[in-house]
Structure 1
Amino acid sequence: MDLDELRRSALRIHDLYDELNRQERGRVWTREEFMLGFMGDAGDLAKLVLTQEGARTSRPDGRAALEHELADCLWSVLILAHRYGIDLESAFVRTMEELEKTISAWLGE
């Protein structure tokens, strides 16, 4: 699955969440609420990484939980990029090129 397919899949789930929230709460999530949801997922991801590294009590579903949280975080990033009108693919390529130049300069290459 490429980035466009991931984005389309994320948007289908986004639309389903919007419909669920309209039915249950009479409104959809704001961009700020998506960001807060992402922060919660990132916190859960941090705990799972600590578990994987032995710094927290292990869980029987540790690997599956880690995969799930990574996917949740990716979903949030894709949705935030969509909500802010950011071409994530272009931004990623540009940022990686900038980082490569910066790190290479630090290394004296």
Structure 2
Amino acid sequence: MAANNFEDIINRSLVIRKKYHELELLHHGSEWTVEEDALAFLTDAGLVGRNIMSQQQRWPKANTDSELEHKLGESIWWLIVLANRTDIDIKEALEHFLSKTEKLIG
């Protein structure tokens, strides 16, 4: 099911993160910190790199496009979560980045 817009994606992402927090409490007695979330994002971002290398036959691992697709989606999800947890509006952050970069490169 495709999200209708970025706001839907953000809302769904935050609901999923809340459910993971519940599992963390159940299994570990505490929710992950923002730092732990950031580390999880970095781990998944690294796996994006490995999966792309594998897909491009530059890394000796059997890889499927579904693994790469999953990690790309998960990395976007983590960025939404991290923005929320640090009180940054991800839509504004992206807009500012795009506008600044468009001006920079013409």
- Matched residues in 1 for 2:32 and 2:67: separation? 25
2:87 aligns with 85
Q: Matched residues in 2 for 1:26 and 1:33: separation?
A: 15
Which residue of 1 is the match for residue 56 of structure 2? 53
Q: Distance in 1 between matches of 2:90 and 2:21?
A: 22
Task: Compute the displacement of 1:62 (Å).
Answer: 1.3
Within 5 Å, which residues of 2 pair with 1:1-109?
Answer: 1=3, 2-59=5-62, 62-104=64-106
> In structure 2, how many angstroms separate the alpha carbons of the residues matched to 1:14 and 1:91?
20
Percent of counterpart pairs with the same letter? 29
CA distance in 2, matches of 1:28, 1:91: 26
Ranges in structure 2 where 5+ consecutive residues have no aligned partner: none
Q: Secondary structure at the match of 2:42?
A: helix
* Structure 2: distance between partners of 1:3 and 1:30: 25
Partner residue in 2 for 1:107: none
Larger radius of gyration: 1
AA aligned opposite 2:32: W
TM-score by length of 2: 0.92
With normalisation by structure 1, the TM-score equals: 0.90
Q: How many residues align?
A: 103
Query: 4+ residue stretches of structure 1 with deviation over 6 A?
Result: none
Distance 2:93 2:67 in 1: 29
Structure 1 CA distance, aligned partners of 2:69 and 2:19? Answer: 22
